[in-house]
Amino acid sequence: MPRKKANPSEETGPNFEKAMAELEQIVGAMEEDQLPLEDLVAKFEQGTQLLTHCESVLASAKKRLQTIAAQQSAPDSSLSPDTSDESDDTDDDDDIRLF
């Protein structure tokens, strides 16, 4: 029997909200509980992994939003005037050119 493909989100880790909730629990436990050093180090390591995952998810979401915004703000080529037919009169001394 063929193996069922894993959900892509399961391969990359928990979703953002779940990871943030788990990170908040870890921070709370580290602040409130009197943990042995070994447990504290293990929780810190787990927390840094969750933080890295959350930052990666946020960076990906930010990039997607920027792409969407850029697509929305880009002028529609069918509506913009065609400026390729404009002639460049460099011989005319009466033209004022700033750039």
Query: Was domain 12-71 assigned CATH 1.10.287?
Result: yes
Residues in CB range of 12: below 8 A, 6 or more apart: 53
What is the residue extent of each domain of the chain?
12-71
Give residue 7's pLDDT. 46
| pLDDT tens digits in sequence order for the chain, 99 residues long | 444 444 444 445 679 999 999 999 999 998 988 889 999 999 999 999 999 999 999 999 999 999 999 998 876 654 555 555 555 555 555 666 554
| pTM listed for this prediction | 0.58
* Long-range pairs, 3-8, Cβ under 8 A, ≥24: none
